[in-house]
Chains A and B, each alone.
Chain A
């Protein structure tokens, strides 16, 4: 099946730093979604992207739908301790079914 390559696998940063993570695929995607999962909870939808080049913000989070439609980026500015969690990219690829494909996640640790 289709795969999403998400990187980095983990990040250890200091509070206040900016964070960048990305997701790439060999297939063209029609939709990109970014989720955050905290321990013991389900993934929570952060940002949804629907058009190539689209740049969308949610507070300190900004995500972009890559121009090639094969990648997406998530940036977190001025990180705080509550940003800790696992961030997943997900998407629907062109010509695929309604099945959402997930990346393996980026585990973020923020040191106060």
Chain B
């Protein structure tokens, strides 16, 4: 069945290292969202794309985070340099056009030591 996939599922790294998270949206979905989930803040939208173009990245710390869609089947979220406060679960979600329903991937659990 069609699902959003994310890799890696878990990542442990040291402060200062670069982290890259990848997402494959559901085939046919042209809108991709990146969320971060923490106990304190809950689910926060970091950025989203439509037809590979960034529409809003206001939720992302600009100095260290970057999000791209090299092609329609791949979205990436990079953190460089990573910091302990970046430790969280990062989710990718996809949807069609302006349709309201968003379908989430299993997440990448990031731990920065």
| Interfacial residues, chain A to chain B (CB-CB below 8 A) | 31, 33, 35, 40-45, 48, 50, 88, 92, 97-100, 102-105
How many of chain B's residues touch chain A, expressed as a range? 20 to 34
Which 3 pairs across A and B sit closest by C-beta, in order of nearness? Answer: A42-B104, A102-B43, A31-B100
B residues within 8 A CB of A48?
100-101
A41 and B106 contact, Cβ closer than 8 Å, known pairs A97-B56, A99-B56, A102-B42: yes
A-B contact pairs, 23 of them (CB 8 A): A33-B102, A35-B104, A40-B109, A41-B106, A42-B4, A42-B104, A42-B105, A42-B106, A43-B91, A45-B101, A45-B103, A48-B101, A50-B100, A88-B43, A92-B100, A97-B56, A98-B48, A98-B98, A100-B100, A100-B102, A102-B43, A103-B42, A104-B42
A48 — nearest CB in chain B belongs to which residue?
Answer: B101
| Interfacial residues, chain B to chain A (CB-CB below 8 A) | 4, 33, 42-43, 45, 48, 55-56, 91, 93, 98, 100-107, 109
- How far, in whole Å, are A43 and B102 apart by their CA atoms in the complex? 10
Give the interface SS of chain A, mostly helix, strand, loop or mixed.
Answer: loop
Q: How many A-B residue pairs have CB under 8 A?
A: 47
- How far, in whole Å, are A11 and B47 apart by their CA atoms in the complex? 32
B residues within 8 A CB of A43?
43, 91, 104
B50 — nearest CB in chain A belongs to which residue?
Answer: A98
B43 — nearest CB in chain A belongs to which residue?
Answer: A102
A33 B42 Cβ-Cβ under 8 A: no
- How far, in whole Å, are A50 and B55 apart by their CA atoms in the complex? 24
A100 B45 Cβ-Cβ under 8 A: yes
A residues within 8 A CB of B109?
40
B residues within 8 A CB of A35?
104
B42 A45 Cβ-Cβ under 8 A: no
Q: How far is the CB of A39 from chain B (nearest CB, A)?
A: 11
